[in-house]
Amino acid sequence: MTTKWTCILFDLDGTILDSAPGITETLSWTFAQLGRPIPTPAELLAYVGPPILDSFRDLAFMTPEESARALEVYRSRYLQNGVFDSKVYPGIPAVLKRIAESPLKLSLATSKPELPAITMLNHFDLTKYFDVITGASADEVRSRKADVVEEALLRLRHLGADITNPIMVGDRKHDVEGAAEHGVPTILVKWGYGSKVEEVGTFAVAKTAEQLSALLLG
């Protein structure tokens, strides 16, 4: 079977890496440092995936100034410790390797800033499979998934990639909705942090890495 996709975009947290332990531990520490009540583990898990400033605003009800301070505190610990407290989902390196060996160009498209994203991919020896690494900007101005997808497609186009029929791979509704703003369909993976309702509007759902590989490459 010949794939119909012309390029592929991949989310990071909840799609390639189970990074929740490092994120939620760092968030707990951050709330403690700020003198705020520490959310429950289930509440903290909701922070994994969306842009973190949005989560501070929407879930912790912080003002822009409070969110900026929380982000500063969070980053001071996450880049030293939390970034390495994660693991690769089973079968994902094989999927990425198969894509790299195909004619299709591959870009990361994560709402995590590019520095920690690259650090994590390097740590697990996965950077080599990507043609482009696209994430949020350091100042979080580019953090909406739609903006990240737009930047990823722009960078792929600059490489000479065919971006006429891209596909997004992610685990949360933010991936689905952000990609859809640019007419990009999404394959939602079931091993991530999304719920059943977040499958709405997806092109397909993959329960295993093998299913994902087949949906991407036939």
Report angle CA 155, 176, 75 to the nearest 5 degrees.
65
DSSP string, 123-151: HTT-GGG-SEEEEE-TTSSS-SHHHHHHH
Half-sphere exposure of 138 (CA within 13 A, CB side): 3
Q: Retrieve residue 25's tokens.
A: 């531990």
Report angle CA 189, 177, 69 to the nearest 5 degrees.
95
CA distance linking residue 32 with residue 160, whole number of Å: 47
Half-sphere exposure of 109 (CA within 13 A, CB side): 34
DSSP string, 133-196: EEEE-TTSSS-SHHHHHHHHHHHHHHTT---SSEEEEESSHHHHHHHHTTT--EEEETTSS--G
Phi, psi of 80 (to 5 degrees): -95, -30
- Catalytic entry in 11, 13, 147, 171: 11
Report angle CA 144, 148, 151 to the nearest 5 degrees.
140
Cβ-based neighbour number of residue 139 at 10 Å: 9
Q: Is 18 tagged catalytic?
A: no
Catalytic residue set: 11
